[in-house]
Amino acid sequence: MINYEDLLELVKKRRSIRRFKPDSLPDELVDKIIEAARWAPSGANSQPWQFVIVRDKETREKIHGFIAEMGELNRKVELLRPPELRHHGAHAPAGGQPGYMNAPVFIIACGDPRGSMAYPMATSLTRAREHLISGMANAFLQMHLAVTALGLASQWISATAHVLTQTRIKAMLGIPASLDIYDTMAVGYPAGQPRPRLVREREEITHREKFDVSKHMTDEQHRQFIIRIIGGDAARG
């Protein structure tokens, strides 16, 4: 039986790292990360995942190029928000290389919607997409925990799931059109440690027997909470 305190410590250490050393990553470590994903829970044990491991530097640069093109559009859209709610990337034009480009490995996680055939008919007709996303998220989280347990670093690159970006990536890598790119993970050795992370207190989010409305944030309280996260009081991820 795994010690709970050890598990909690692993969960607390899991972070999105945005600075990597360029050192090569052995195949055996990548295999261990995928192995952790293989045992993730999924709807009806449908196991909808496929993983594409990308090491080639030129290919990784092309993927970043696809992301950067959409990123500039996203930056312009972000500037429409009030300044205090803008994400950090909105304050400067895209162009520089993000930290994840130094990571020696990208793992692209693809989901197969055909797994919905394993669900009960009513679920397949009404909640198939939600179950696919849940299963992929479970696998991805277990990969992040495996990365942390191995003393490595990972970053969740959600931009590859954008419909236009993933279409270009799928064409480049020969990924079948029927699959969905869920997200991409950059993996490598950390080149630094992130700042402390803001996490809500347990009692703020726990309700016993029925919902305690006194704990429910007002719209303004929730807005201020989001501003704290975005503004950098504590690191994200």
CATH of the domain at 168: 3.40.109.10
The model's confidence at residue 194, banded by pLDDT at 50, 70 and 90, is confident
Range 195-224 average pLDDT:
95
- Is residue 234 scored above 80 in pLDDT? no
C-alpha–C-alpha distance, residues 127 and 17, integer Å: 33
C-alpha–C-alpha distance, residues 237 and 227, integer Å: 15
Question: pLDDT for 89-137, tens place per residue?
Answer: 655 545 567 889 999 999 999 999 999 999 999 999 999 999 999 999 9
Q: Is residue 122 part of a domain?
A: yes
Q: Give 159's contacts (C-beta < 8 A, 6+ positions apart).
A: 67, 70, 71, 165
Q: Which amino acid is at 5?
A: E
pTM to 2 decimal places: 0.89
Domain that residue 31 falls in: 11-191
- The conformational region for residue 40 under phi > 0 = left, psi -120 to 50 = alpha, else beta, is beta
State the average pLDDT for the chain. Answer: 91
More confident residue, 199 or 193: 199
Q: Is residue 211 part of a domain?
A: no
Using CB atoms within 10 Å of the CB of residue 18, give its burial: 0 to 12 exposed, 13 to 18 middle, 19+ buried.
buried
Query: Is residue 147 within 8 Å of 153, Cβ to Cβ?
Result: yes
Percent of the chain with pLDDT over 90: 77
What pLDDT, on a 0 to 100 scale, did the predictor assign at position 44?
Answer: 95
Count the domains in the chain: 1
